[in-house]
Amino acid sequence: GEDVEQSLFLSVREGDSSVINCTYTDSSSTYLYWYKQEPGAGLQLLTYIFSNMDMKQDQRLTVLLNKKDKHLSLRIADTQTGDSAIYFCAERGSGTYKYIFGTGTRLKVLA
Amino acid sequence: EAQVTQNPRYLITVTGKKLTVTCSQNMNHEYMSWYRQDPGLGLRQIYYSMNVEVTDKGDVPEGYKVSRKEKRNFPLILESPSPNQTSLYFCASSLWSGSKADTQYFGPGTRLTVL
C-alpha cells in the first residue's frame, strides 16, 4: 500500500536553515502537503505542492519535489525557536478521498 | 471564528464501555475525517466522510464507527474500547472540490486512555 516516510528527529541552531525530508511510494500522488503541529495543538497546513511542480516558495519556506525519486523536502530558512514543532508530510491522489501522512519529524531549534 | 471543535479533550475510560467523541465544524465543509496519532506511527486515517450520509473507511477503521447525519457533525464511536485504542484523536474538515488541494482544518485533539 501507499507509504510516506520521514526521519523522526532533526536538530538545528537558531538562524540556520532546516531541511526536512519525506519519501512517498504512490506514484499517483497529486497533492503533497506539509503540516506543522505545535505542542498540545492540532495540525496546521503550512504549504502544499502539486505533483506537476518542482518547487514552491512561500516566505521562509521552500518545498522541493523530485518526482522521479518520489522525494519531497521542506526547507525553512533562518530557523527560529518558534519553528520547534513536529512537521508532517502528507499525500493525496487526485480524485481520492484518502490522505496518507508520514510519521512526522520533530524539529528542535537550539538557541 | 472558523473552527473545528472536539469533545471531550481528555477522556479516561475502561475496556468495553461505549464512548463517543464529538466533532463539529462551522465552515460548511463537505469533507470530514478522523485520525489517530501514535508515537512513531504518525497520523493514520480512521474514517472519512465526503458529505452527509456518505462515509468510507480509512487505513485503520477496525473498532470504530462513524455517522454523518448533519453536515457540521461527524462523531466517532467506540462501541467496545480496548487498550490498543489509547491514542490522540484528531478530527479534520475541508471543502471538497476533488481537483484542488483542499486545505484540511484540524481540531485540537482528544486524548483517550482506555484502561
Gap between the Cα atoms of B24 and B5, Å rounded: 5
* Interchain CB contact of B35 with A (< 8 Å): yes
Give me the torsion for CA of B105, A52, A62, B106, rounded to 10°. Answer: 10
At A96, the pLDDT band (50, 70, 90 cuts) reads: confident
Out of A33, A45, A101, name the one closest to residue B42 (CB): A101
Contact residues, chain B, for A87 at CB < 8 Å: none
C-alpha cell at A11: 536538530
Gap between the Cα atoms of B5 and A11, Å rounded: 32
Residue pair B52/B68 in contact by the 8 Å Cβ criterion? yes
Residue pair A22/A70 in contact by the 8 Å Cβ criterion? no
Reply yes or no on whether the pLDDT at A94 is more than 90: no
**What does the pLDDT look like over B95-105, one tens digit per residue?**
887 666 788 99
Reply yes or no on whether the pLDDT at A44 is more than 90: yes
- CB atoms near residue A78 (< 10 Å): 11
Residue pair A61/A76 in contact by the 8 Å Cβ criterion? yes
At B44, the pLDDT band (50, 70, 90 cuts) reads: very high
Mean pLDDT of all residues in A8-33: 91
The predicted pLDDT at position B43 comes to 94
Mean pLDDT of all residues in B50-79: 96
Contact B109/A41, CB-based, under 8 Å?
yes
Mean pLDDT of all residues in B67-96: 96
Percentage of chain A exceeding pLDDT 90: 67
- How close is the nearest chain B Cα to the Cα of A72, in Å? 16
Gap between the Cα atoms of A17 and A102, Å rounded: 22
Residue pair A86/A104 in contact by the 8 Å Cβ criterion? yes
Out of A41, A97, A101, name the one closest to residue B43 (CB): A101
Query: Which of residues A52 and B31 earns the better pLDDT score?
Result: B31
The predicted pLDDT at position A28 comes to 74
Q: State the average pLDDT for chain B.
A: 94
* Interchain CB contact of B65 with A (< 8 Å): no
Vertex A53: Cα angle to A47 and A56 (nearest 5): 40
Reply yes or no on whether the pLDDT at A1 is more than 70: no
Mean pLDDT of all residues in A27-44: 88
Vertex B54: Cα angle to A51 and A44 (nearest 5): 45
The predicted pLDDT at position A3 comes to 85
Gap between the Cα atoms of A24 and A21, Å rounded: 10
